Structures are given as C-alpha cells and as structure tokens.
Structure 1
Amino acid sequence: MKRSDRLYALMQRLKDGGLHTAEALAQDLGVSVRTVYRDMETLAASGVPVEGERGRGYSARATITLPPLNLTETELEVLHLGLAAVGAGGSGELSEAARALSAKIDAVLPEDAGAAPGKFGFATYPFQEAAEGFRHMPAFRAAIRARQKLRVSVQGREVPQDVRPLHLDYWGRIWTCVVWNESTGGFETFRIDRITGLRPLPGLFVDEPGKRLADFRAASG
C-alpha cells in the first residue's frame, strides 16, 4: 500500500470519533507500530485534527473553532480551498497574501499542548496532490444536484467507470465522492485527486432502493 493511501485509510478510521490504539491500527493496516507513530505525526503536521499520543491512542476532533468566529466544517473547507488554490495558482502578490493569511490562521487555530503547529493553508507531503482534484469539484457538484451520471477515469483502473455521484465529503484535505458504480454494481468512495478525467453522460438517474445515499449510510453505519 502506498504511503498516501495508508494515510488516507488512517483518516477514514479516525472519522468515527473513537479512540484507536496504535497497536490496533498497525494490525489493521499490516504495518509496524512505529510506522503508525510516524504516520500520525505526518497527519498532524498536515493539519489533520488528530488528538492523542503514543501509548494512549488516537482520535480526531469533530470541530475546529477560530476565535472569535465559530466556523462550520463546510466554511472551513471553503477557506482552505480558497487559500490552497490561490497559493498554488496565484502569482506574486496574491500568492504571498494567501500564504500570509494562512500563517495568521495557523496562529489562532487551537493546538494541543506541546504539539507542533500544523499548517492550515498549505499541507505537507503527501497531501499536496489533493489540489489536483480541485478542477473536478464544480463538475461533481453540478452532477450531484442534477442527478447526472458521469463517466470517470480513475488512477489504477484501466476502464472508465460509469457512476451516479451521490455525496462529496472532505477529510484532512482530501476530497472524496460517494458514488453508486454502474460498472461494478456497488457503492464506492473515490478520491477526487485520483480522478484523471470525467464527462457527463446523457442519462439522468432517479432514486432507486439500494442505490441511494441513505442506503450507503445505512450499510456503513
């Protein structure tokens, strides 16, 4: 398993809000406990809201507060996306301003005692690649609203997949999309940064039992 995929898998496990020991995570992923320790340090340095320490266990905070503002997760996502996009694609003054604003946000984000501050606007390796998926976000959002089927090409798959996009999700700088995959006949979660191409298909879709977002959540819960 690639390191970036393993870090994504760790984030998925932390999303339940429970406490996970390094030993249990290591056994689940087939790696050493020392590797889990290093991965958790990388996640924290990348801005993922990880809490915990060696010997006790790890969990993820559900909310982030910027005094004196209380931001929803969606509002914080928008702020990060804007900073990352301008910082990576802007020129001169705009790029520098985005980095300066990112540093100011870093200064007021809540931190665990003794933890090194994470960088909010500009994530460290291996999450820099997540910015590659930004260009696909409008198409996915539009398809979800219109119930428009998409044909997507995904890294690691030789054949494009015909999907029903159901829901966009964001976790630790990684955007994902829950889909019903017409090609495989099941639910899947695609990382947006792993999408290499997409195009809308002529057919729209309607809710069908077993293929809805509610069915995915019921199966996952």
Structure 2
Amino acid sequence: MKRSDRLYALMRRLKDGHLHTAEAMAQDLGVSIRTIYRDMDTLATSGVPVEGARGSGYTARAMITLPPLNLTHKELEALHIGLAAVGEADTDDLAQAARALADKIDAVLPEDAGAPSARFGFATYPFAEAAQGFRHMPAFRKAIRARQKLRLQLEDETTMHTVRPLHLDYWGRIWTCVVWDETDEAFATFRMDRVADLTPLPGLFVDEAGKTLRDFHALQS
C-alpha cells in the first residue's frame, strides 16, 4: 500500500469520531506502531484536525472555530476549495490575494499545543495533488443533481467504470465521491484526485433498492 493511500485510510478511520489506538491501526494496516506515529504527525502537519497522543489514541475534530465565528464543516469546505482554487490561478494578483487571505485566516485559527502549524487552504505533502480533483467537481456535482450516469477512469487503471454519482464528501483536504459502480455492481468511494477521466453519459438513473446513498450509509453503520 502506498503511503498516501495508507494516510487516506487512516483519515477515514479517524473520521468516525471514536478514539483509535496506534496499536490497533498498525495491526489492521500491517505496519509498525512507529510508522503510525509518523503518519499521525504527517496528517497533523497537512492540516488534518488530529487530536490525541502516543499511548492514548487518536481521533479527529469535526469543526474549527474562528473567533468570533463558528464555522460548520461545509463552510470550512467552501473556504478551503475557494482559496485553493484561486491560489492556483494564472492571475497573479488573485493568487497573491488568496494566499494573503490564507495567511490572515492562519493568524486567527486556534493552535493546539505541540501541533505543527499548517497553511490553511493550501495542502502540504502528501496531499498537494488533491487540487487535481477540483477539475472534475463541477461535472460531478451537476451529475448528482441531474441523476446522470458517468463514465470514469481512475489513475493507474485501465478499466472504465459506469457509475451512479451519489455524494461528494470532504475530509482533511481530500475530496471523495461515493458512487454505485454498475461495472463492479457495488458501492465504491473514490478520491477525486485519482479520477483521470470523467464523461457524463446520456442515461439517467432512478433510485433502486440497495443502490441508494441511504443504503450506502446503512452498510457503513
């Protein structure tokens, strides 16, 4: 398993809000406890809201507070995606303004003792490639609203998947999509930055038992 994939797997586990020990995560992923400690440090440096310490376990926060505002998770998503997108723009003055705004937000973000600081809105290694997923998000969001099937291909794969897009999710600067994969006849969760090609198809879809977002959530509970 590549390190970036392992870090993503750890992020998904921490997202449930429960406390997870390094020993249990190391055993499940087949790595050493020391590796998990290093991974937790990397996630924190990359801006993932990790809480915990060696010997006690780890979890992740669901909200970040900016005095005097309380930001919901969706509001934080909007800030991040906007700053990250504009920060990569070809227009120098807008890119500079986005980075200046990120610095101002950094200045008022709460700091946890001992936690390395991370620039808000601009992912650091190993998630710098996450911005690549932005290029497909408008088409994916439109397909969710229209209930339109998509054909997509992931990086490092030759298989083309015909999918029913169900949901976009965001966690720790990584965007993921939940789909019903008609090719594999199963639910799947893809990282948006791993989508190499995405094409809307003329066919629409309707809810079918066992293939809805509610069914997906039921399987996760």
Q: Could you say whether these structures have the same fold, taking a TM-score greater than 0.5 normalized by the shorter chain as the test? A: yes
Alpha carbons 1:148, 1:201 under 8 Å: kept: yes
Unaligned 5+ residue runs, structure 2?
none
Partner residue in 2 for 1:220: 220
What pairs up with 1:3-152 in 2 under 5 angstroms?
A: 3-152=3-152
Task: Summarize deviations over 1:87-120 as a string: whole Å, max 9, x none.
Answer: 1224322222211111111121122123222221
1:191 counterpart = 2:199: no
TM-score, length-scaled by structure 1: 0.97
Alpha-carbon distance in structure 2 between the residues aligned to 1:165 and 1:211: 11
Unaligned 5+ residue runs, structure 1?
none
Partner residue in 2 for 1:182: 182
Alpha-carbon distance in structure 2 between the residues aligned to 1:118 and 1:181: 36
Aligned residues: 221
The alignment yields a C-alpha RMSD, in angstroms, of 1.0
Q: Which amino acid aligns with 2:50?
A: V
Alpha-carbon distance in structure 1 between the residues aligned to 2:39 and 2:107: 24
Superposed displacement of residue 85, structure 1:
1.0
Alpha carbons 2:123, 2:130 under 8 Å: kept: no
Large movers: runs of 4+ above 6 Å: none
Alpha-carbon distance in structure 2 between the residues aligned to 1:191 and 1:122: 17
Shifted more, 136-145 versus 71-80: the winner is 71-80
Superposed displacement of residue 155, structure 1:
1.4
Q: Which amino acid aligns with 2:110?
A: P
Alpha-carbon distance in structure 2 between the residues aligned to 1:92 and 1:61: 34
Q: Which amino acid aligns with 1:108?
A: V
TM-score, length-scaled by structure 2: 0.97
Alpha-carbon distance in structure 1 between the residues aligned to 2:82 and 2:66: 17
Alpha carbons 1:87, 1:99 under 8 Å: kept: yes
Q: Which amino acid aligns with 2:56?
A: R
